[in-house]
A and B are shown apart, each in its own frame.
Chain A
């Protein structure tokens, strides 16, 4: 078709006065670099101050097994948040899949078959979330708040008083504690999955639809994206990856537990936000989430190795999150205003409303 040829109208060229050099991509890249810098600073600090942290580099690598489960959930959550939704059920899903895997194994199934079936349960659970969101049009915050309760009940009921433990060695090795040289299998698996997710978001048709859906759902639909299917698959991926993290944790501890996932959800969402993903959808890079996983994970582990309690370590992650966001907002502010002026303007009567959305679909 040569429909296009010469369709340019005879308008006189005008300089693009209103055109400004604004690109989201460059801001995102700056954010990722800042995180990487933070990561290096952190590693140096802990290596100097905490004995046993560096361990010739290998100590640090094995520490990663303690937080890659969070990273996996965060990758799934990234897909859901990029689409403009949220998945609060990922933690409970992680527990449930670990329990299902262990119970199936205890019933006599081969451990790998049990794992595959359990991961299928994770994907199906994600599909349930996705269907409730897309078919009934209920806010995902509500849907996954509800399914979180339901899934954790099911996990507890299935697991009973003493969930199974003592899995076959090959499973514990591969899914849990094994290494190639100094590099844990878990780290390799995470690297592969993170790469696939990252390329999937930035370089595939599905990822393009996902990101456009997150930016403007209606416009995505009007330009031919199947929004419902896109959302559905993001929830399925989140359920699957949460399930995978459950399998990994079970392998690492060589035991299933019905509450392992409870403590993973909040750090995972923290990682996603810290990684620069916009909670309202569309904007963000998987690479940022990966770096943020290590920033937060090594920070927590460093504090724990140094002898702090886990609640203190969690608190520090919360503080880091707030400080990073405050920093980001300060950097985005118009130049020239001092911090005090900025706060005065923000708090004066003549101020624009603050963001009030919770993270649902976004318009305009």
Chain B
């Protein structure tokens, strides 16, 4: 073990940390109602739940980011006063956020020590040399071998995540919460993070963990609690539960999550609605060729960073192509822009819904019609609002968006309903082919199921679908064919009975399927 400044705390690191009867409401809407949850030393305790179940809110309250409306926090037997992030850290409680939030232009060292910069001999100056030395030893502990003087913005997301982790150690925190740390990570990177977590467990840290990926939760955790609609509906040792029990607890009903959503379709002979030929955009991807026929769901499987999103963005005219062509229904789309693609019948549902999809501060109606503004009914140059409202109303009804009215702001909808509103937007464009980029990211299990069904239904109606996902099991149950992308190239294709998550899994990491 590293000699360093932490050896004194190595043995029984974490105290017992407990939240008792925590309640919280935002603007009158209850999010948590009387949750009791505890975190023990040497244990990883996972909190599960659908989107909007209150998991993140719970961790943020435990870490002092939010104040609970009622309830108490008990650390090592002592009741804590109202916490702030600072006072929580001072007591050894740290929250690793979902997306690493480092200060880009500052050094790794400064990011580690921000808030507790070491002072030099003059008392008001900063001791840089000393901090760089100490930073190195902390970085080694989380398996990072990087220059502590490097700028944080030059690190990969995974490295930044680990820096967040090291920051918890620097702050001498022994209760560490991870809020969906793996969602931006590839499988390998996530594995590295789990090693670090396992090491911390051995050292006696108390850890809380949130993830949407049930397999991860089952591998990593010692204990699992499930929240649903602000209540704790299950809390058990991981050996006492299995996948289906967890899913059932989360959604309150049985979900056949592993069964095919629809039988595979052989689309040979149908019209080819999308044809991509030798598309390249260095350095992201090279020579990509594939076609999609009407009524077919084609998966693009690949790890984060394999170039799959870049392929979609290039097809949709968001990135420049070096060479290659895109045909929609046999018609060549030269000089593609999102507009010309939409008009030709090709739509793209982006991966990052918050940034590229929704207009959070805008009401549902204008969100839904945003893709077809040029086609809205007009009186002279003026848009007919009543016609627009009718269109938006029909589209949202078809994708079953749950909302009080079309005037509800989209930010007030849950993740799954936001995604349904996005689907409604693209249905209005009457597409012939649609690219769905990680449509179930940040969406709870029940909503996932619905989205699969919508995709399957659209395919049955004759829409050509491209489904991009890093969840291979998802591809295996929805797609008719799947292409594996590895380092910017198509490395293989599977269809029919060959299309299993194991085989895809072998291909997306660069191996061969047989």
Contact = CB atoms under 8 A, between A and B. Distances in A.
Contact, chains A and B (beta carbon distance below 8 A): yes
Interface of A: 1-14, 16-25, 199, 203-205, 208-209, 211-212, 215-216, 218-226, 282-283, 334, 349-350, 363-364
Given A4-B394, A25-B363, A222 B357 contact: yes
B358 A16 contact: no
A124 to B, nearest CB: 24
Given A25-B407, A205-B376, A224-B339, A7 B383 contact: no
Interface residues of B, number: 70
Given A7-B454, A223-B425, A218 B27 contact: no
A3 B348 CA distance: 17
B363 A224 contact: no
B275 interface: no
Contacts of A203: 381-383, 385
B408 A208 contact: no
A208 B373 contact: yes
B355 A11 contact: no
Given A25-B363, A209-B373, A215-B361, 9 more contacts: A9-B450, A12-B253, A211-B362, A212-B359, A212-B370, A216-B359, A349-B84, A350-B82, A363-B355
B355 A22 contact: no
A283 B427 CA distance: 27
Given A223-B370, A363-B355, A18 B338 contact: no
Contacts of A225: 338-339, 370, 373
Interface stretch (B8-16, B182-190, B457-465): B457-465
B414 interface: yes
Given A219-B358, A222-B350, A364-B354, A20 B453 contact: no
A226 B412 contact: no
Contact of B374 (A19, A205, A282): A205
A23 B407 contact: yes
B362 A282 contact: yes
B366 interface: yes
Contacts of B341: 224
A35 B16 CA distance: 56
Interface string B429-459: 0110000000000000010011001100110
Q: For chain B, what secondary structure do more than half of its interface residues adopt (helix, strand, loop), or is it mixed?
A: mixed
Contacts of A218: 355-356
A283 B362 CA distance: 9
Contacts, number: 167
B70 to A, nearest CB: 15
A208 B412 CA distance: 21
B404 A3 contact: no
Contacts of B28: 20
Nearest to B431: A3
A221 B395 CA distance: 21
Q: Return the 4 tightest CB-CB contacts between A and B, nearest first.
A: A350-B84, A9-B450, A223-B370, A224-B339
Contact of B430 (A1, A211, A334): A1
Contact of B458 (A3, A21, A350): A3
A157 B453 CA distance: 69
Nearest to A13: B402
Contact of A224 (B52, B342, B385, B449): B342
A17 B230 CA distance: 11
**Max count, chain B CB within 10 A of own CB: residue among A6, A199, A222, A224:** A224
A18 B25 CA distance: 11
A216 B422 CA distance: 15
B273 to A, nearest CB: 12
Interface in B226-270: 229, 253
B93 to A, nearest CB: 15
B409 interface: yes
Contacts of A221: 318, 338
A16 B413 CA distance: 8
Nearest to A352: B65
Interface in B397-416: 397-400, 402-404, 407-409, 411-414
